[in-house]
Structures are given as structure tokens and as C-alpha cells.
Amino acid sequence: MEIVIASRAEIGGLAMHRPRQYLNIPTEIVRTVVAISETGSLSKAGERLGLSQPAISSQVKRLQSLVGGALFVRTANGTTTTELGKVAVQQARRILEANDQLLRLGGNNEGPQPLRLGMSTMLAEEFLKLQPVDALADIMVHVDMSPAIIRGLIDGYVDIAFVYGNPSLEAEDEVTIASEAEERSVWVRSRDFVLRPGAPIPILAWPGDDWMMRTLTKHNISYKIVFRSPNHQLRLEAARAGYGLTACPERMIPPFLVSAKDYYLPELPVRKRLLCVRPGLEGSRATALVQRLSSLFFNGTKTIRQVSNV
């Protein structure tokens, strides 16, 4: 038997030609990034995934070190993606979609994936009343505040959005508006609500509210937030209980509230109700859903255009 002994130099040369170890990003980190983008919060992402906030933060730091930059920034309304983060979230979704497709090879989750319809909390009740149950068979409905739904549309986890116009759309030139209509909103209160003379206006707000607060600030009117909730129906119930005033689309005032036309209340701005489509969305199912929603909520008017200014 011949024994070959390699020198250290030769061993070093062999090491230099050894195939490089590939870096892999664990799927759980990919899911974490997507969850943060969808919920707008590290703590909410942790609740969804069953992870502690330190674990979530650790995963984000690990991915940031791999991609070479910050993926999220904290704002007054929660956590939002940076420009690098938007790209990372898009790629993360592709990884998860590929993962799900592989799992379907074994016979799981057969059939087409449901369309993801996002809508404002203010519009959800009307949608459920007008939309027959059997029409929702291939649709996953996600209800949240309009800014969160718009962010989902831009980031790619919402296919079609039924929302109110928001400044976050102004900088986007890829989102397509399928239909739009102006929506007049008014102040609403209980029938027996009375404001004490000289007292600040008690308002029932929602996260990121720029309807009431911006209007009152513009007119130098004193107010205080006495109730805050992303749930539109809860705000209406708080108004019924006499906690204060809130804003509501004029055509949707519930019978247990009245339009508040008190002299001290400034007129609320007119908003646009929008039906938006994710960039690159195609297919007969998506087209049929857009047409159905346009017919139900926009009198069938179709005004396809690219977003320029909302």
C-alpha cells in the first residue's frame, strides 16, 4: 500500500479550492420579515408567529447584517419598511411562495390561491351586506386601516384594495386605480350629546387619523382624544354611548347617531373612495372581482389610471 503524505502548503492549496459554503437565509427569518411588514409592528409580528420580541429583533438584525442595511424604521404609526426593506419584503414573499409551491407538490393546498382583497374597516360592513357568501369562495378578505391596506398593496401581499385615499399613495406611480368616487364625511354624535361650554371637543379617533385631527388643528380648535380604535363599529358604539364625536361617511350614518351640525364643528374634507390593483396582477378571476366591486360600489364606473396624486 502506498501512503501519500501531503505537505502543509498542498493542504492549504486544497483548502483554497474547496467549494465555498453557501449562505442560506432560514425560512423562519423570511416569515418574520413578512409578518412585520404586514402587521406594522414587531410585537404584533411576534404574537402572530408565537415569538418573543427579542427573538423577532434578533432575526431582523441577522437579516440586516446579511443584506447590508436597515430594513425597518419606527414611525409615529408603527414600523414601516425602508427602501431596502421594500425590496427585501418582495423577495421574501417570493421565497415563501416558492416554499408553498413545493409543499403543494405533495398534494397539499391544491387549487388556485385565493385572491387577497384588502379593505378599509369603514367599508367592510357595507361590503359584507352587498356581497353574497358564495362570491367569497376564492377570496381572502383582509380588513384594516386604509394606510395598512395600501402598504400591503405596494408591498405585494394585497392584490386588490378597497380603501380611502391616503397621502402614502401620492409617491407611488405603479399602483393602478380601477375606480374612484368622492366621499363626503360628516361629524356624528349621539342624539343627546352636549358639549360643555369652553371644553375641548372629545373625539373618537383611529390610529393615524388625519380626517378629524388635521381639520381641527387647521382651524385652531381645541380637542382631546377620549377613545381610539381601528375598529369603525366600536367608534360608532362609543359615539352612541355619548363619549364624544367621530367622523363617518355621510351615506353610512347608522340610525342610532345623527349628523352633528353644531356651529363649532368645521366641515370635514371630501375623501376619495378607491379601488386599486396591485402592479402586475393578471387573470380572469381578478378582472371579474374588480368589475363586480366597481359595479357594487362605484355604479359600474371604471376609471383605470395610474396614480399621480390622490
Out of 8-17, 90-99, 168-177, 203-212, pick the least confident: 8-17
pLDDT at residue 248 is higher than 90: yes
CA dist 83 and 208 (Å) reads 21
Does residue 131 or residue 162 have the better pLDDT? 162
**Which residues have C-beta within 8 Å of that of residue 28, sequence separation ≥ 6?**
49, 59
pLDDT at residue 249 is higher than 90: yes
CA 261 to chain centre: 33
Does residue 84 or residue 93 have the better pLDDT? 84
Out of 151-155, 178-182, 272-276, 293-297, pick the least confident: 151-155
Out of 10-14, 52-56, 90-94, 211-215, pick the least confident: 10-14
CA dist 86 and 83 (Å) reads 5
Average pLDDT, the chain: 81
Does residue 63 or residue 23 have the better pLDDT? 63
Q: What is the mean pLDDT of residues 135-153?
A: 82
pLDDT at residue 104 is higher than 70: no
pLDDT at residue 39 is higher than 60: yes
Q: What is the mean pLDDT of residues 83-98?
A: 85
For every residue of 174-226, DSSP letters joined together read SPEEEEEEEE-EEEEE-TT--PPTTPPEEEEE-TT--SHHHHHHHTT--EEEE
The predicted pLDDT at position 241 comes to 96
What is the pTM for the complete model shown? Answer: 0.63
The predicted pLDDT at position 15 comes to 42
Does residue 140 or residue 202 have the better pLDDT? 202
**C-beta separation of 168 from 86 below 8 A:** no
- pLDDT tens by residue, 256-266: 999 999 889 99
Read off the pLDDT band of 9 (50, 70, 90): very low
Cell 373612495, located at residue: 273
Q: 13-17, 134-138, 194-198, 298-302 — which one is most confidently predicted on average?
A: 194-198
Out of 10-24, 102-116, 165-179, pick the least confident: 10-24
- pLDDT tens by residue, 184-235: 999 999 999 999 888 999 999 998 888 899 999 999 999 999 999 989 999 9
The predicted pLDDT at position 247 comes to 96
Cell 363617518, located at residue: 248
